[in-house]
Structure 1
Amino acid sequence: MAKRAAATSTPLPTREQVLAFIAESKDKVGKREIAQAFGLKGSDKIGLKRLLKEIEGEGQIERSRGGLSKAGRLPPVVVGDIRSRDRQGEFLASPVEWKGEGKPPTIVLMPARGGRKDKRPQPGIGDRVLVRVEPDGDSDTRYTGRIIKVIGKNRAEIVGVYRAGAQGGRIEPVEKRGARSEILIPPGEEGEARDGDLVSVSLERETRFGLPKGRVRERLGSLGSEKAVSLIALHLHNIPHVFHENTLAEADAAKPATLRGREDWRDKPLLTIDPPDAKDHDDAVMAEADPDPDNPGGFVVTVAIADVAAYVRPGSSLDREALERGNSVYFPDRVVPMLPERISNDLCSLREGEKRPAIAVRMIFSADGVKRRHSFHRVMMQSRAKLSYAQAQGAIDGQPDATTGPLLDVALRPLWAAYEALKIARDRRGPLALDLPERKVLIGPDGKVDRVVVPQRLDAHRLIEEFMIQANVAAAETLEHARQPLIYRVHDEPALEKMRALGEVLASVGIKLPKEGALRPALFNRILAMAAETEHGVFLNEVILRSQAQAVYAAENLGHFGLNLRRYAHFTSPIRRYADLVVHRALITACKLGKDGLAGDISVPELDRIGEQISAAERRAMAAERETIDRLIANHLADRVGATFEGQISGVTRSGLFIKLDETGADGFVPVSTIGADYFRHEEARHALVGERTGETYRLGDRVEVRLVEAAPVAGALRFELLSEGRSRSGAKRTGAKKPPKAGGRPFNPAPPGRPAGIRTSSNRHRGSRR
């Protein structure tokens, strides 16, 4: 039988044949289509699956809902936003999601074939559309496409700066992607807008040629206002920020939960530890010595989480809008919550001294931090105290106050003792140990940026984060054991192509990346330890972060590489993450804790669809938060043009250098045309710009001094001139005279190299939410 099977087996296609087939295909391509094209059947498909995984790992192809596509290219079907017209009057669109390098490609939309009898909605600028695309020749930056469906009219709202004129005015769009043109505002259509105001615009009339005409819908405020800056991000990313009337009505009608069907835990010393400015408190903790003689030195750790599922029922308006938002979005001047304040800040917030419903997990750990067992409970609790991180840490460090003093022996010291045990197991597990504290923009009483700080990382932060991680693991284990479908938080290992690029960066600073052996977080931790006391410590943390895959939500478990965990699900923040609410409902069903759990007929594909939707919402929120901080800092530095700053080269491209400032963490750009008197070429493998005549070199991670030349608050961009000398041919860093910059320069609007979405660095607010 084996010989007969071998005789009839069809040879696998080569890598080149598979790549050519994918690149040339105009329709959706997956494993099934490739197998049919090359006549593969039965066991041959196993070999094809392995080959596709290898090619994907090498970074040569990408996987999306549209199927497989060549890396750096769009899949056959994409969702796009129509942004402008070209000179021939054809619509130009850009993809909503783009994972490639550089700017997203332009899609030229071909005229519809339906003719006059086509009754489908006609597309216009600002619409979101489903498009079938194909490359325009050999170009990876330009595509032609035909609209399959108009998904939403004017979904991509236009935000810009109003410029008044004698005959009406014009709008300069904030977003420059997609070559969006200016918009004419006829007299009388400017509303309350004044020259220089930030406004949102709807397109009222289009012509095939010439500038589109629009009407000012809303005056968002002066560009000098920090509130207007966060509104830019809300509008550009289509983030819902006004609740529907039905949703607010449901929230207002909600009644406090009762003890019925719950355990009474109101006498337990549970307390919340949060940032000092936290408005909602969705987790409380406590710890105590395990009285079991069979577990000497062990601990009982309890994590209680707000019972949002008691108020937000599947299919309700609250539920539908929470899914649409996906998560809360945090800006320096405002929070855009996932749920109305009646739910998030009142009924579900674990306020001090007030009874609140919760779902709690009780975990038993040994003296060395190994979890022995756990159980889930639906309870009524009453927080003993509301503490800030610094307040709790101060009490442990010998400086208790009137609130923390009475809690030291009954609550705080047991928490820290349990954490010391859990640290033993954590260190043995070896999660990815990145140290990249996030900048925090502080707004003063006048609404302006006061300063930019990097909050101190305390053991209190690490304690809460570790307890939340253990609770999340317990949730995933319980649901798997009950065979209950759930949404995992998954983080795949880095792709082979990214590891190769990382190896080149490490080689440039004298560190060798092992070529063999299993890929584990411990490998990266050894590199970080080697570089910790060197000039490359900070930049290698950043480079290793960029090498990581993107953490997402999915119904299929791929494990969590960064945390070095086999299973992981978000359970601890249902007030601000929809994924956690789904996990709560699944636990209610699996543990028989009530009738308001996950619907029994929900399918894995349906959960996967929800996972894709909330993963996209998370990426949207992260981009909006990051861009807002960039705009705020650019605005903050606008009156310091001419000042000098210390920083580090955080990115190297053929067009210039990205510089991260020490003082604020802001990213800015140095155009290559302004660097010295030499001609600099980009050596990609070395991540460096090298002078062709002198050999003078600027490479990733180098310390430099720069002068601020221009700040563009609307774009969130800074332009610098370089004052430091580069490295000599020998690689030594030069000291002494500063570099005279070249004269001139050109307009800029660069986007700094980004981090992979979904991988959390140090953050007091999110306490593990992006891992």
Structure 2
Amino acid sequence: MKRQRPATFQMPDSLPTGTSPARTGGLPEREQLRAFIENAPGRIGKREISREFGLGPEHRQALRAMLREMALDGTLAPAGARRFRVSDRLPESAVVQVTGTDADGDPIARPVQWDGDGPSPTVFMHPELRGRAALAPGERVVARLRRVGPGRYEGRTLRRLTDAPVQIVGLFRALGDTDPAAAAPARFRPAGRLTPADRRARAEWVIPMGEDDDAPDNEIVIAIPLPQSGPGLHPARIIQRLGPQGDARTISMVAVAMHGIPHVFGQEALAQARAARGVSPDGRTDLRDVPLVTIDGADARDFDDAIYAEPDGDGFRITVAIADVAWYVRPGSALDREARLRGNSVYFPDRVIPMLPEELSNGWCSLRPGEDRGCIFVDMHVAADGAVSGARFGRGIMRSAARLTYEQVQAARDGAPDTTMLSLPDGLLDSLFGAWECLSRARARRGTLDLDMPERQVHLDDAGLIESIHPRIRLDSHRLVEEFMIAANVAAARFLEGRHVPCLYRIHAPPTPERLESLRRTLDMMGISLPPVGGLRAADLDRVLREVSSSDQAPLVNELVLRAQNQAEYSPDPIGHFGLSLPAYAHFTSPIRRYADLLTHRALLVAAKLESGSAPDHTELETTGQAITQTERRAAQAERETLERYAATWLQARVGTVMDAHISGLSRFGIFTVLDATGTSALLPMSALPEDQWHHDEKTQTLSARDATMVFRPGQALRVRIEEACAIRGTVLLALPDTLPPRRRRRP
């Protein structure tokens, strides 16, 4: 089940824009040239390009040909005589991905690659030729494009790129007596309709008679498109039934199916996992007398790290021991291929989709109390000011002294230890918290970004029904483990750098100036000041978070700062970690559930001469880093969407209930809110506001009535009524408590 450990800083959504390339003395690559033209100030021509890249007369003809080609395919656009800029138009043909359907059921797509300013253009795809299956959400095609307006294109399919039939996950509703289609002759009467789980798909699908796989009404299913033979809704065939909508345990499988998350292990990998046995102490450092303890969430099953601390001079000596997954998962093996394919474990309220089979993840690789386990450990000295020195890595055998929970440790820290805590050696808890306080001083001195984004926790009863949804409280015990893990990760990165062994770093680029400026303007409207963008550091953002930590603005400000960040990723190039204010950082502490950590273990074993072999080269690491970055984002999106569906399911039974909320954003079509009780995002549409002329001012971030008697602002508290909740899509619509239900109800 899901661990309660806060991630060692994971940032959201976007990749950094290109930076100005270094002078090469040769003709640049197309992407280098595009990035330079996009980021350089002023108008750019061949003279500026030649100066930047050190080009001579011998490159003139080739450069002219490259610029002409990039202008023809839409990458560049003219900006005056012999001047260029990055085009905001799409080329005549491009790869697009279907994201949903319009009200008529025709596909809507977006370009797969879009580097222009603002949101990517919308492509309205023409229906497929008669006899061909309709395009479904997620499918990619090469399309011929025609611009029909700003940010709007028409598209016609030239070639479909999807190898297998695209699947549609949704809710099947059997044909009812009141459905107009029930009056059709028997041979034309459908079995029912399918409402897609993807909220971007506006149209339903029709399930013809005989294509329903005997699915009952209100069943969540997987379907594939069928060829279209006439007008009307697109037809589809049900190929798998996931379970009834009312069963909360079915909800997570919707995300698994929609995102194509691998969840069945191959027989060869399972056989390797079942053949695993315990490690021998030969050739390993014996740590079985060291009282290492694991600290995890109450529902955790995979214990991949254990910690210990004792006084050492003016500071502490700490040991972090990590499960020796590399001993069992050998490079190139079936287990290794499966682990790389998954990239990471995926955690849902009712289940875990593990990266490794349970025989390893919950068995031989899990640091269970009282059982001998192989480990890779690091010993470090932590000075009183938090400086870490003398890091030593080794391969050991350990025996966990206790399996502790965050709540147990916190209760003991607060003076209420239970019998398990009392059985530990005297002074161990004080040493752990003492070392944490030292590490925290170094963190404060660095000026890191400490976002407080409460994680929602869903509690299910034995029948699979939702008992409650509430934010998970972050304790000092969480912070203690997090600081120990950060110290170990930093030590791993420094150790590998010092021995010039390549590895995958966890990198987090600084926010772009545009995002920071937008954040600064928004905070200024809320009476919160930020330094000028040019010299802004993580410490400046953290100062703002501390200033508002005890105010009603705290949730919104944390969310705004989070949105301004670039997304962390994996790369063999150590560009640093902005959020943690670290020059080099590598994931090392969770190899059971992250493939990146397993790669770090392998590199450490080679660097420490504990195993023979060579480390992967830069190109191989770069490819792997890109792959597992995508699997990590896929998992995060699947977990987020699943929580939204759980919340909508819980709120379906509470339609009409009035709840507290706060505004998280404003737009011309409604007010985005977060329900305080569950942390659920919900929309208060314009149709639910009192009849008036409403004005949305982007500059002041307000939505106001014509006479300004009612004004809405970000962070403002609201009382709202649950008007509608769609469990399959995870959407919630709200109304104000003192307004009548809208005359025309909108589907969420």
CA distance in 2, matches of 1:126, 1:740: 36
Q: Percent identity?
A: 39
Cα gap change, 1:135/1:509 in structure 2, threshold over 3 Å: closer, same or farther?
farther
Match of 2:445 among 424, 428, 431: 428
- 1:315 matched to 2:314? The reply is no
1:602-635 C-alpha deviation (Å, 9 max, x unpaired): 3212211211111111111111111111111111
Aligned to 1:331: 348
Matched AA of 1:200 = I
What is the deviation of 1:173?
A: 3.5
- 1:591 matched to 2:608? The reply is yes
Is this contact kept in 1: 2:684–2:735, CA < 8 A? Answer: yes
- 1:645 matched to 2:653? The reply is no
Extract unaligned runs of 5+ from structure 2.
Answer: 1-19, 21-28, 38-43, 56-74, 77-84, 177-181, 183-188
Matched AA of 1:243 = F
Q: Secondary structure at the match of 1:583?
A: helix
Is this contact kept in 1: 2:294–2:305, CA < 8 A? Answer: yes
1:41-72 C-alpha deviation (Å, 9 max, x unpaired): 6652389xxxxxxxxxxxxx99xxxxx97689
CA distance in 1, matches of 2:387, 2:154: 54
Match of 2:575 among 535, 558, 562: 558
What is the deviation of 1:440?
A: 0.8
Q: Secondary structure at the match of 1:439?
A: strand
CA distance in 2, matches of 1:90, 1:707: 33
Aligned to 1:747: 746
Q: Secondary structure at the match of 2:530?
A: coil
Is this contact kept in 2: 1:287–1:301, CA < 8 A? Answer: yes
Is this contact kept in 2: 1:395–1:408, CA < 8 A? Answer: no
Cα gap change, 1:443/1:199 in structure 2, threshold over 3 Å: closer, same or farther?
same
Extract unaligned runs of 5+ from structure 1.
Answer: 1-17, 19-26, 48-60, 63-67, 113-120, 291-295, 724-738, 750-771
Aligned to 1:279: 301
Cα gap change, 1:428/1:72 in structure 2, threshold over 3 Å: closer, same or farther?
farther
Match of 1:38 among 26, 41, 46: 46
Cα gap change, 1:373/1:177 in structure 2, threshold over 3 Å: closer, same or farther?
same
Is this contact kept in 1: 2:171–2:195, CA < 8 A? Answer: yes
Is this contact kept in 1: 2:377–2:394, CA < 8 A? Answer: yes
Aligned to 1:668: 682
Match of 2:153 among 108, 131, 142: 142
CA distance in 2, matches of 1:285, 1:74: 55
1:387-446 C-alpha deviation (Å, 9 max, x unpaired): 111112222322222211121515322212211222221221221122222121111222
Cα gap change, 1:123/1:452 in structure 2, threshold over 3 Å: closer, same or farther?
closer
CA distance in 2, matches of 1:32, 1:266: 58
Q: Secondary structure at the match of 1:404?
A: helix
Matched AA of 1:649 = I
Aligned to 1:12: none
Instruction: Please identify, of 162-171 and 710-719, the stretch whose mean Cα deviation from structure 2 is larger.
Output: 162-171
Aligned to 2:703: 689
What is the deviation of 1:470?
A: 0.6
CA distance in 1, matches of 2:550, 2:580: 24
Give the aligned CA root-mean-square deviation in angstroms: 3.3
1:99-142 C-alpha deviation (Å, 9 max, x unpaired): 99779833637999xxxxxxxx9996577436477563444243
Aligned to 1:243: 265
CA distance in 2, matches of 1:410, 1:171: 65
Matched AA of 2:393 = F
Aligned to 1:530: 547
CA distance in 1, matches of 2:120, 2:48: 38
Aligned to 1:397: 414
Aligned to 2:434: 417
Aligned to 1:252: 274
Map 1:701-716 to 2 at 5 A.
701-716=715-730
Match of 1:451 among 460, 463, 468: 468
Instruction: Please identify, of 154-163 and 513-522, the stretch whose mean Cα deviation from structure 2 is larger.
Output: 154-163
Cα gap change, 1:133/1:483 in structure 2, threshold over 3 Å: closer, same or farther?
farther
What is the deviation of 1:175?
A: 3.6
Cα gap change, 1:366/1:554 in structure 2, threshold over 3 Å: closer, same or farther?
same
1:536-564 C-alpha deviation (Å, 9 max, x unpaired): 22221221111111111112222111111
- 1:270 matched to 2:292? The reply is yes
Match of 1:604 among 599, 603, 618: 618
1:331-355 C-alpha deviation (Å, 9 max, x unpaired): 1111111111011000100011111
1:4-40 C-alpha deviation (Å, 9 max, x unpaired): xxxxxxxxxxxxxx9xxxxxxxx96442797898365
Is this contact kept in 1: 2:344–2:593, CA < 8 A? Answer: yes
Aligned to 2:140: 129
Map 1:161-176 to 2 at 5 A.
161-164=172-175, 167-176=189-198
What is the deviation of 1:673?
A: 2.5
Aligned to 1:407: 424
CA distance in 1, matches of 2:102, 2:664: 36
What is the deviation of 1:220?
A: 0.9
Aligned to 1:491: 508
Aligned to 1:728: none
Aligned to 2:3: none
Cα gap change, 1:28/1:134 in structure 2, threshold over 3 Å: closer, same or farther?
farther
- 1:366 matched to 2:366? The reply is no
Q: Secondary structure at the match of 1:136?
A: strand
Q: Secondary structure at the match of 1:640?
A: coil
CA distance in 1, matches of 2:699, 2:47: 40
Q: Secondary structure at the match of 2:326?
A: helix
1:53-100 C-alpha deviation (Å, 9 max, x unpaired): xxxxxxxx99xxxxx97689899865635867998x997645679899
CA distance in 2, matches of 1:410, 1:75: 70
Aligned to 2:220: 198
Is this contact kept in 1: 2:504–2:570, CA < 8 A? Answer: yes
Cα gap change, 1:72/1:276 in structure 2, threshold over 3 Å: closer, same or farther?
farther
TM-score by length of 2: 0.83
Aligned to 2:628: 614
Is this contact kept in 1: 2:168–2:196, CA < 8 A? Answer: no
Cα gap change, 1:244/1:105 in structure 2, threshold over 3 Å: closer, same or farther?
farther
TM-score by length of 1: 0.80
Is this contact kept in 2: 1:364–1:372, CA < 8 A? Answer: yes
Q: Secondary structure at the match of 1:403?
A: helix
- 1:306 matched to 2:323? The reply is yes
Cα gap change, 1:181/1:529 in structure 2, threshold over 3 Å: closer, same or farther?
closer
Match of 1:183 among 186, 205, 220: 205
Cα gap change, 1:719/1:124 in structure 2, threshold over 3 Å: closer, same or farther?
closer
- 1:655 matched to 2:655? The reply is no
Q: Secondary structure at the match of 2:719?
A: strand
Matched AA of 2:415 = G
Q: Secondary structure at the match of 1:380?
A: strand
CA distance in 2, matches of 1:132, 1:604: 35
CA distance in 2, matches of 1:530, 1:545: 16
What is the deviation of 1:147?
A: 5.5
